[in-house]
Amino acid sequence: MSARQYLYKDFPKYYTWNASSCKWNPRKQGSMRGRLVHANPAEGERYYLRLLLSHISGPTCFEDLYTVNGIIHPTFHKTTLERGLIETDDNLSHCLADASLFQFPNALRRLFVTILIYCEPGDVRKLWDEHYDSLSEDYRRDYKNVEGVRNMVLTDIAVFLQSMSTNLDDFDLPSLNAAVNLESRGFHEVQEEYSIIAQDEDLNARNSLNSDQKHAFDEIMTHVDNDCPAVFFVDGPGGTGKTFLYRALLANVRSRGLIALATTSSGVAANNMSGGEQLTLDSRFPLLLVIIRCAI
């Protein structure tokens, strides 16, 4: 019962897992490695589940997490509201602080914009001031002009906000001190996409596709070659070769001198694909979704 005094994220500090006996045993030596998996506010229930696990000691089931004062709530979001965990901006600040431990500054700036759009923080300027050092770390390392660094950080944030149909002026953030051409900044991003070199193993992956993967590959590339707009949804359990198909598609599209934006819902997934970007689907691609199902 003593184990129930610990938070989920702290449990490995005090106990170790014995695979042979399938039991947790008190830790006798050594130190903990690992952390509670990061989640950002745009991930919805996954984010609120992580928030609850960071504040509730010793839960033994999901029902424990859903329960507040004897009442079982239907969602993690509702539970965090009832517990008062999202009444202030503290959880948003913790989210950024946690992400700064392993995310590059550009990814942090995108996360900051995600928080502005989806979480409506009460004190945006305070959030900016608290995390400015992390948001600007790469620019401060390369440039000494303080005002110039701030301008570049704000420009990146403005570009991300613009992609979500929002402006910098909509939030309590510092103003850009010079006229910035966001279209030229976008051109710079286009140039970065063109600089991605398709790997030979990805280009040759098309020769190793199974019949269902080959069908999806040919159907999608036909639309690419004919400049015919379409949206495809590739579905299947983990391990069925979706990422392998994606890599083949990205490489072959880029080999034609075209731009392919690898869009994912998490940074981990982005790492599996060359040129992966952590973007929000509904904000980046406000298109009518037509689904063509293809088993893999």
pLDDT tens digits, 232-264:
888 888 778 888 888 888 888 888 778 777 766
Listed residues 82, 100, 115: the one ending a domain:
82
Q: What pLDDT, on the 0 to 100 scale, is given for residue 254?
A: 83
Beta partners for residue 71, in sequence order: 68
Q: What SS3 state is found at 263? A: strand
Instruction: pLDDT band for 130, please (50, 70, 90 cuts).
Output: very high
Mean pLDDT on 216-239:
87
Q: Report the distance separating Cα 30 and Cα 8, nearest Å.
A: 19
Decide if 105 contacts 135 (C-beta within 8 A). Answer: yes
Q: How many CA atoms lie within 13 A of 291 on its CB side?
A: 6
Q: Report the distance separating Cα 118 and Cα 173, nearest Å.
A: 17
Listed residues 170, 193, 216: the one ending a domain:
193
The structural domain count of the chain equals 3
Tokens read off for 58: 């010793």
- Judge whether residue 200 has pLDDT over 80: yes
Q: How many CA atoms lie within 13 A of 71 on its CB side?
A: 11
Q: Report the distance separating Cα 205 and Cα 201, nearest Å.
A: 6
Which domain covers residue 181, as residue numbers? 92-193
97 shares a domain with 67? no
Q: In 135-156, which positions are buried (b, 16+ CB within 10 angstroms) versus exposed (e)?
A: bbebbbeeeeeeeebbbbbbbb
Identify the sign of the CA torsion 226, 229, 230, 234: positive
Decide if 158 contacts 168 (C-beta within 8 A). Answer: yes
59 shares a domain with 17? yes
Q: What pLDDT, on the 0 to 100 scale, is given for residue 265?
A: 54
Residue 39: name the closest of 117, 91, 113 by CA.
91
Q: What pLDDT, on the 0 to 100 scale, is given for residue 48?
A: 84
Residues 6 or more apart in contact with residue 98 via CB below 8 angstroms: 38
96 shares a domain with 184? yes
Decide if 89 contacts 127 (C-beta within 8 A). Answer: yes
Listed residues 161, 178, 193: the one ending a domain:
193
235 shares a domain with 171? no
Highest mean pLDDT among 76-90, 110-124, 194-208, 249-263: 110-124
Mean pLDDT on 48-69:
85
What share of residues in the chain are helix, strand, coil (percent, to 5)? 55, 5, 40
77 shares a domain with 21? yes
- Judge whether residue 66 has pLDDT over 50: yes
Mean pLDDT on 19-25:
85
264 shares a domain with 176? no
167 shares a domain with 244? no
DSSP 8-state code for residue 238: T
DSSP 8-state code for residue 7: B
Q: Is residue 293 part of a domain?
A: no
Q: Report the distance separating Cα 114 and Cα 161, nearest Å.
A: 9
Tokens read off for 73: 């709530």
Mean pLDDT on 99-116:
89
- Judge whether residue 33 has pLDDT over 70: no
Instruction: pLDDT band for 283, please (50, 70, 90 cuts).
Output: very low
Q: What pLDDT, on the 0 to 100 scale, is given for residue 34?
A: 57
Maximal C-alpha separation, the chain: 65
Read off φ and ψ for residue 144, nearest 5 degrees: -100, -15
Write the single-letter amino acid at 36: L
Long-range own/partner contacts, residues 26-29 (CB < 8 A, 24 or more apart): none
45 shares a domain with 114? no
Q: Is residue 87 part of a domain?
A: no
Residues 6 or more apart in contact with residue 272 via CB below 8 angstroms: 243
183 shares a domain with 119? yes
124 shares a domain with 187? yes
- The lowest-confidence range among 124-133, 157-166, 245-254, 256-265 is 256-265
Q: Report the distance separating Cα 167 and Cα 15, nearest Å.
A: 48
Q: Is residue 164 part of a domain?
A: yes
Number of other CB atoms surrounding residue 269 within 10 Å: 15
165 shares a domain with 119? yes
Instruction: pLDDT band for 137, please (50, 70, 90 cuts).
Output: very high
Q: Is residue 260 part of a domain?
A: yes
Instruction: pLDDT band for 75, please (50, 70, 90 cuts).
Output: confident
132 shares a domain with 63? no
Tokens read off for 283: 């904000």
Mean pLDDT on 163-184:
74
- Cβ burial, residue 263 (10 Å; 0-12/13-18/19+): middle
